[in-house]
Copies of this chain bind each other. A is one copy, B any other.
Amino acid sequence: MKTIGKLAQSLNLNVETIRFYEREGLITQPTKPISGYRQYDETIAGQLRFITKAKMLGFTLKEIKSLMSMDNDCAKVELLSRQKLAIIREKISDLQRLEKVIVDMTNTCIQNDDPTYCPIIDALK
């Protein structure tokens, strides 16, 4: 059993972040003995690692809470993952379109000798 500071250190999280996750109902309540200091066991450490990994995959805290409550209902989990996948793919193609527009714009700059005129600014007008 660890106090919040030790737990935070071992997981490389901020103490406030752990308390925030508790307030948000993402982790189960740790036992609190007489003193009032939270005591964390390995279960909660595991939940926090789960949250961290899911966050890296682009899930929001809200979705992660949902994922955790689905427990092991694979069909539901798969659906949520596929939805996330669709969003990620959409973001990728949005960004690729942007990329092309900006590349085109900056290329027109290169051939420009007039210091008082910018084709990018012009394109945006």
Is the beta-carbon distance between A50 and B124 smaller than 8 angstroms?
yes
Is A84 in contact with chain B by the CB < 8 A criterion? yes
Residues in B with CB closer than 8 Å to A85 are 99, 102-103, 106
Residues in B with CB closer than 8 Å to A78 are 106, 109-110, 118, 120
Is the beta-carbon distance between A98 and B54 smaller than 8 angstroms?
no
Is A115 in contact with chain B by the CB < 8 A criterion? yes
> What is the CA–CA distance of A121 and B125 in the complex, to the nearest angstrom?
49
| Interface-located stretch among A17-25, A31-39, A67-75 | A67-75
Answer whether A125 and B49 are a contact pair too, CB < 8 Å, given A85-B102, A95-B92, A120-B78.
Answer: yes
Residue ranges of A at the interface with B (Cβ–Cβ < 8 Å): 46, 49-50, 53-54, 57-58, 67, 70-75, 77-78, 81-82, 84-85, 88-89, 91-92, 95-96, 98-99, 101-103, 105-106, 109-110, 112, 114-121, 124-125
